[in-house]
């Protein structure tokens, strides 16, 4: 008998729990994975609060990424067999002892990459790599601003910039986390007590930056847009401004949405700026995703990338894990453990 995380309804952290589950049987074109670790992302918290789409109807099991061992495979699946250590990018439902996965989203792990490291990889590194490289065509002489630089996507982006030889990097976080940002050669900005837009304006001599990663949204996104250089790209991939605490507040969510920018195509044209919305959970080009995941795994093997795992919670303590992320205590990734594995 396994277990799965279930979000019962829209609300605070008490609306997420664990329930028992039977092992599912894969269809002809599916793989069943016995999960060791599953990642938690801020998107899971926003879905729990009812502020993130697409999401399944309540109750449902969240989770975009897992690592584990293949348990069984469907009759039409080739190249994957029971016993292989794998990592998988899920469209949802990953936070469970057993998951059914699309073989195109499953990669076999080299022996040098642990299951714990693997589970911390798909969402954060894919999101960062997709923004900076697939969409942004990052170059060594580009200027980059990363909001939430000490979080999962933030630390992934910092490492990808360092790997690409980028030296002009700014990253925001609370002051106690600045050492993480400095470690990767970036200039830390205190998100609570400093004006990042003024700092960027001063330190780039008014030119702005070429790439901005913004998971905050709301009015914050407006200020990010004002900090772009000519030809710059703004990537929006979250709305944490709608969930400043673990409690569900429709008023705060509506205010965050209302304060966000209304993008004027003519103004974007005249100022030569671009805005990308990024949600890897809805990305459907599997070939592009596999290519990027392979690049990321190669980067880990070669020592260019090193996923930062802040903490691992037993699946039964998923409420505590959600609150921990709401309180912005994590540096890097938070995982759920379903079965201890190397």
Q: How confident is the model at residue 219 (pLDDT cuts 50, 70, 90)?
A: confident
One domain, residues 169 and 187: yes
Query: Could you report the per-residue pLDDT of 262-290, keeping only the tens digit for each?
Result: 777 777 777 788 999 998 888 889 899 99
pLDDT exceeds 90 at position 244? no
Q: Report DSSP state, residue 317.
A: G
Mean pLDDT across the chain? 91
Per-residue model confidence (pLDDT) at position 338: 96
Specify the long-range contacts of residues 106-113, CB closer than 8 Å, at least 24 apart: 106/31, 106/33, 106/70, 106/80, 107/290, 107/293, 107/294, 107/297, 108/80, 108/84, 109/67, 109/85, 109/297, 110/297, 110/301, 112/301, 113/297, 113/300, 113/301
pLDDT exceeds 50 at position 341? no
Per-residue model confidence (pLDDT) at position 314: 97
Question: What is the Cα–Cα distance from 334 to 40, expressed in whole angstroms?
Answer: 6
One domain, residues 185 and 132: yes
Per-residue model confidence (pLDDT) at position 220: 85
One domain, residues 6 and 76: yes
Per-residue model confidence (pLDDT) at position 198: 97
Exposure string for 204-232, b = 16+ CB within 10 A, e = fewer: beeebbbbbbbbbbbebbebbbebbbeeb
One domain, residues 110 and 128: no
One domain, residues 115 and 157: no
Per-residue model confidence (pLDDT) at position 342: 40
Phi and psi at 339, nearest 5°, equal: -150, 120
Choose between 266 and 142: higher pLDDT: 142
Helix (H) or strand (E) holding 214: strand 209-214
The packing angle between helices 286-301 and 152-163, to 10°, is 70
Cβ contacts of 304 within 8 Å, gap of 6 or more: 159, 162, 163
For residue 325, how many other CB atoms are within 10 A of its CB? 23
Is residue 289, in this structure, part of any structural domain at all?
no
Query: Could you report the per-residue pLDDT of 91-138, keeping only the tens digit for each?
Result: 999 999 999 999 999 999 999 999 999 999 999 999 999 999 999 999
Q: What is the DSSP string of 114-132?
A: -HHHHHTSHHHHHHHHIII
Choose between 238 and 132: higher pLDDT: 132
Single pTM value for the model: 0.89
pLDDT exceeds 90 at position 53? no
Question: What is the Cα–Cα distance from 108 to 87, expressed in whole angstroms?
Answer: 7
Is residue 111, in this structure, part of any structural domain at all?
yes
Q: How confident is the model at residue 239 (pLDDT cuts 50, 70, 90)?
A: low
Query: Could you report the per-residue pLDDT of 75-85, keeping only the tens digit for each?
Result: 999 999 999 99
Residue 17: give the domain boundaries.
2-121+307-337
Helix/strand number for the chain, H first, E second: 11, 15
Tokens of 232: 């710059």
What is the CA angle 276-281-282, rounded to 5?
Answer: 65
Per-residue model confidence (pLDDT) at position 23: 95
For residue 19, how many other CB atoms are within 10 A of its CB? 13
One domain, residues 51 and 23: yes
Percent of the chain at pLDDT above 70? Answer: 92
Question: What is the Cα–Cα distance from 115 to 108, expressed in whole angstroms?
Answer: 11
Choose between 54 and 139: higher pLDDT: 139
One domain, residues 276 and 227: yes
pLDDT exceeds 80 at position 209? yes
Is residue 290, in this structure, part of any structural domain at all?
no
- CATH number assigned to the domain comprising residue 86: 3.90.180.10
Q: How confident is the model at residue 259 (pLDDT cuts 50, 70, 90)?
A: low
Query: Could you report the per-residue pLDDT of 149-184, keeping only the tens digit for each?
Result: 999 999 999 999 999 999 999 999 999 999 999 999
Q: Report DSSP state, residue 135.
A: I
Q: How confident is the model at residue 248 (pLDDT cuts 50, 70, 90)?
A: low
Residues shown for the chain: 342
One domain, residues 112 and 150: no
One domain, residues 134 and 264: yes
Tokens of 150: 């000490």
The answer to whether the bond into 23 is cis (omega within 30° of 0) is no
Is residue 288, in this structure, part of any structural domain at all?
no
- CATH number assigned to the domain comprising residue 213: 3.40.50.720
pLDDT exceeds 90 at position 66? yes
One domain, residues 195 and 254: yes
Is residue 227, in this structure, part of any structural domain at all?
yes
One domain, residues 194 and 272: yes
């Amino acid at each position: 008998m396994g277990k799965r995380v279930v979000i019962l309804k829209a609300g605070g952290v008490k609306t997420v729990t664990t329930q028992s589950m039977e092992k599912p049987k894969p269809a002809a074109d599916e793989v069943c994975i016995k999960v060791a670790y599953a990642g938690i992302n801020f998107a899971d918290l926003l879905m729990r609060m009812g502020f993130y789409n697409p999401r399944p109807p309540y109750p449902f099991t969240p989770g975009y990424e897992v690592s584990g061992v293949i348990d069984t495979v469907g009759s039409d699946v080739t190249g994957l067999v029971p016993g292989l250590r794998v990592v998988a990018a899920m469209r949802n439902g990953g936070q469970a002892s057993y998951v059914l996965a699309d073989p195109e989203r499953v990669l076999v792990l080299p022996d040098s990459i642990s299951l714990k490291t693997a589970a911390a990889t798909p969402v954060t590194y894919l999101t960062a790599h997709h923004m900076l490289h697939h969409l942004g065509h990052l170059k060594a002489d580009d200027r980059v601003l990363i909001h939430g630089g000490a979080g999962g996507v933030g630390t992934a982006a910092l490492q990808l910039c360092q790997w690409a030889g980028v030296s002009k990097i700014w990253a925001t976080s609370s002051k106690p986390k600045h050492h993480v940002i400095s470690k990767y050669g970036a200039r830390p900005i205190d998100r609570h007590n400093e004006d990042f837009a003024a700092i960027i304006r001063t330190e780039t001599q008014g030119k702005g930056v070429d790439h901005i990663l913004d998971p905050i949204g709301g009015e914050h996104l407006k200020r990010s847009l004002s900090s772009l250089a000519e030809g710059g790209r703004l990537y929006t991939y979250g709305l944490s401004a709608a969930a400043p605490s673990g409690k569900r507040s429709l008023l705060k969510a509506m205010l965050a949405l209302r304060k966000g920018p209304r993008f004027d195509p003519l103004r974007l044209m005249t100022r030569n700026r671009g805005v990308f919305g990024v949600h890897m959970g809805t990305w459907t080009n599997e070939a592009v995703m596999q290519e990027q995941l392979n690049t990321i795994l190669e980067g880990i093997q070669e020592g260019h990338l090193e996923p930062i795992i802040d903490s691992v919670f037993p699946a039964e303590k998923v409420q505590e894990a959600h609150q921990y992320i709401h309180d912005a205590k994590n540096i890097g990734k938070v995982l759920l453990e379903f079965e201890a594995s190397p």
